[in-house]
Structure formats: C-alpha cells, structure tokens
Amino acid sequence: MTLIRTVGLTKRFAKITALDALDLELEPGIIGLVGANGAGKSTLIKLLLGLLEPTSGSGEVMGFDVFRQGPELRQFVGYMPEHDCLPADVSATEFVAHMAQVSGLPRAAARERTAETLRHVGLFEERYREMRGYSTGMKQRVKLAQALVHDPRLILLDEPTNGLDPEGRDEMLRLIRRIGSEFGIAMILSSHLLGEIERVCDHLVEIEDGRLVRSVPMTVLTAPTSVLTVEVDGDGDRLADRLREQGVTVSRSGRFLLVQKEDDALLDLVRDSVVDLGLGLVRLEQGRRRLEELFQSQPSLEEEEDLRG
C-alpha cells in the first residue's frame, strides 16, 4: 500500500511559495523529513493533514484524498505539532481521552486506550494532575500520547524533540523508534537535526525551498564505504608501510589507519600483515557514511539559511 502520494502539490502564501509542485511517493516506514527552517517541512505536514488547503495539486494518504476525505482519513492519522497545544487546566487523562473521542473512538474505548497510551509514553501518577504544572518533557509525552491514542496508521511528528534537554531527546527518540518499529505505525518525522533522523528513520525525504531534493532509503545514504578503519596495538606505521608495499592506499588518522578497500581480499591481507609484524589487532571496521558528511558536500543547510537571511 502506498502511504503517501502527492502530485504537483503546491502551497503559496502571500509572498512566498512554501511548497512548489511537489511530487512524492512514499511507502510505509519511518520517514525522516529534513530541510532548513522555512524549507517547507511544516507546510507539507499540514497539507497532508488537511490543516492547510493547497494552492494546487493533490495529495493522497493511505488511499484517502486529503482534501476531500479529511475527516475519514484523520481517524487513522495522529499529529504531534511543533508548538504547544495543551490546555492548562485539564488533566492529561481527561484531555487525551477527549482527543481519542474526537478521533472517532467510543467513550469506553477512549478511556481504556488513554490509560494504556499514557503508560506507553511514560506518564504515570501525574496524569491525573492539571497539565499547567508539567515540565517540557511531560508535555511532549502528552502531545505524543494524543497523537497515538486512537491507534493511527500514520503519525506525523513535527520537530518532536524541540525544547528537550539531551536526555529528554534520547528518550523521545527511543520512544518514537519503538512506536515505528515495534508498534508498526508509519511515521513522518520532521527535524532539522540530521543525527536524529539517522538514528530513527529508515527513509529520508529532503526538501529545500519547497522543492524535493531527494527521497531515498536510509540504507543508500549510510551505505558502507570502501574505507576500512584499522587500529592496532603497537606501531601502526610499520603496518602502514607493509600495506603500502602491497600497493594499498593507506592514510593515518590519529591512532587509526584508514585503508582503501578494493575487495574482500584486503581483509585477509590486513590480518596476515598484522600477524607477521607481531602486532595486536584492536579494530577492523568497515566505514559507514554519515548523513552529516553527505550534507557537507553541498552548502550546508545552516549556511543557506544565513544566505537567505
């Protein structure tokens, strides 16, 4: 089943074109949406929810026409906005149960699932208290719970780690990863932090100035590179010399040797050389590309933002 299909999806505001003829086709999974602030991430999410009307083009989510079948579709969609969205003077339990009902769940089921969902996101005794006293972390959990309570097929998360401290970030990402992989719910997660996307997502969509830059599986982006990292216990230079004699390209990076790998025979060569020289092999590791490196080859997102002012 196709999760999302957009054709020529365009959104113009008074002065700017936030989304420019976006054609996108995505399968279910954990999809990371990256781009600078103002690239069109939030606009895309809001269009997919039917919160915004497109200037032109069409969008389909799980077979529903986003703009004609909004209420039907949204029974199966959860949304965690970037901004605050919680009333202060109700308890998390009451609020989440109400939200479940507005998603179409009967009252009893809404109550039952609220208790369960709040437990899943890690909110316990405090869930009966008014939300005005909640910490940022607790509020983020409630926001996630209200997006999850009606057991949606798709959850849209707009910058879910915003405002959290490093520990809170970690926990939120673990939770998100778990919802995606263990609970089997498709997700679109927007973030301007590539590290987060890399940790959680299995597909990446990059937009810039409202246009699609790429939409690729994460495995392609972080594919193994042809560089071996070797660390030995002893004199690494001797190993480097030995390998160079065999016509292998070697460079040094601190304690590590970076060895250009042409084929798997090199692995044997390294092992044998290490043994010959009487060194101890500490690490022999295939390098992986990181998302950050990928984006560094182009002007980085932050730089572009600066240019744009």
Partner 1 sequence: MADTTAGTIYDVGYQRYEGVRLGRRHAIWALYVHSLRGVFGIGRSLSSKVGPMGLAVIALVPAIFQLGVAGVTPTELSVIRPEEYYNLIEVVLAVFCAVVAPELVGRDQRTRTLSLYFSRALRRQDYAVAKFAALMTGMLAITVIPQAMMFVGNGLANDFGDYLQDEWTDLPSILGSAILLSGLIAGIGLVIAAQMPRRAYATVGILAAFVLTSIIAGSVFEAADQNVGRFALLLSPFHVVQGLTLWFFDVAPGSGTQLAEARFSGVVYAIDAALVTLLMLALLFRRYERISP
102 is an interface residue for partner 1 by CB under 8 A: yes
Least distance to partner 1, CB of residue 126, Å? 17
135 is an interface residue for partner 1 by CB under 8 A: no
Among 26, 90, 267, 277, binds partner 1 (CB under 8 A): 90
Nearer to partner 1, 119 or 255 (CB): 119
Among 8, 63, 106, 195, binds partner 1 (CB under 8 A): 106
Q: How far apart are CA 60 and CA 25, in angstroms?
A: 10
Least distance to partner 1, CB of residue 49, Å? 5
Kind and range of the H or E run holding 176: helix 166-181
Nearer to partner 1, 95 or 197 (CB): 95
The conformation of residue 127, written as its DSSP 8-state character, comes to G
Locate 134 and state its tokens.
């909640």
Helices H / strands E in the chain, number of each: 12, 14
Least distance to partner 1, CB of residue 198, Å? 24
Kind and range of the H or E run holding 73: helix 70-74
Among 12, 17, 67, 98, binds partner 1 (CB under 8 A): 98
Among 54, 61, 103, 270, binds partner 1 (CB under 8 A): 103
Q: How far apart are CA 215 and CA 2, in angstroms?
A: 14
Give the chain's radius of gyration (CA, Å). 24
Dihedral class, residue 17 (left if φ above 0, else alpha if ψ from -120 to 50, else beta): beta
Least distance to partner 1, CB of residue 160, Å? 15
Among 51, 193, 267, 269, binds partner 1 (CB under 8 A): 51
Among 29, 38, 104, 122, binds partner 1 (CB under 8 A): 104
Among 11, 74, 192, 261, binds partner 1 (CB under 8 A): 74
Among 25, 84, 272, 285, binds partner 1 (CB under 8 A): 84
Nearer to partner 1, 40 or 81 (CB): 81
The conformation of residue 35, written as its DSSP 8-state character, comes to -
50 is an interface residue for partner 1 by CB under 8 A: yes
Whose tokens are 């609220």? That residue is 114
54 is an interface residue for partner 1 by CB under 8 A: no
Task: Centre a 10 Å sphere on the Cβ of residue 285 and count the other Cβ atoms it contains.
Answer: 11
Helix ranges restricted to H, 103-165: 107-120, 136-148
Backbone angles phi, psi at 67, to 5 degrees: -95, -15
Cβ within 8 Å of residue 229, ≥6 positions away? 256, 257, 258, 259, 283, 284, 285, 286, 287
Binding interface with partner 1 (CB under 8 A): 49-52, 70-72, 74-77, 79, 81, 83-90, 94, 98-99, 101-107, 109, 113, 116, 120, 130, 146, 150-151, 179, 182-183
